[in-house]
Structure 1
Amino acid sequence: MPEYKKLMKLIATQTGTKFRAASSPDLAELRALRLPGPVVDFYARHEPSECAEGQVRLWPIADVLRENRDLIPGAYVAPLGYVVFATTLCGDAYCFDVNVTSPEGEPRIVLISHEAVRKDITAERAQQLAKSVARDLHEFLEKFEQIELDEECVY
């Protein structure tokens, strides 16, 4: 697992958000979303205590669950392997793509438009909409801290 401590201190200072260890029940909820071990391990140490707003919004686990169960696009793309964990200020979704992982089990990060996803979305259409923005969570957070995240969706 990449070293996150220094990076998360920078993000905490930048956003004014505290990061904490997630609870065991919350980590179990992340596993239920089919998130791989490296992602669960990150949240075990660095869950946002509230929405961490910078260039985009990083969500605490309670909001991650809501994004993926009740809101669009997450409710429709999470069953296809795209798990929302952050959003743009306009509501587009940054997702862990559990369909594409590194040899270490790190999922790539993709951006999916909330406007382009419908209830009947197919896996093929979701794949077309999923724009790769970072090779893994660490790279995503580096771009977040540097205010360099891609916010342009594919339609």
Structure 2
Amino acid sequence: MELNSDQIKEILPHRYPFLLVDRITACEPGKYADGRKCVSVNEMQFCGHFPQQAVMPGVLVLEALAQTGAVALLTEEENKGKLVFFGGVKQARFRKQIVPGDVIELHTEIIARKGPVGFGKATATVDGKIAVSAELSFAIAEPESRN
């Protein structure tokens, strides 16, 4: 399954400037998702992270990987309309700087589930080289009614 940015917005609640996945290139619901993030110099974080030498913040790459994993979970029939919250990060490694002009290939595989909690292995690559890897956890929840 492939999803464009409009279709991703039907699944994830994130919006500009915090929707960090431009396209889902492959997805098996509940198992994995592959995504793509095209890094542009016009993004807000580059105003301050580092103005003289723009570098994509590692925490935003982790968030993009988490959003990719959330798509894998939220495309399962039983999770449609729910939310996925970032539960935690373990073993994060930052191996390569990501800069404007780079295209980040995102891969998050759901490796275990325990009730509403999921665990994933995530990798972000640029030009075939690993830039970021981490173990992520997710919590699936019903959206709150805010009347």
User: If you compute each CA radius of gyration, which structure gives the higher value, 1 or 2?
Assistant: 2
Q: TM-score range by the shorter chain?
A: 0.3 to 0.5
More strand by share: 2
Structure that is richer in helix per residue:
1
TM-score by length of 1: 0.33
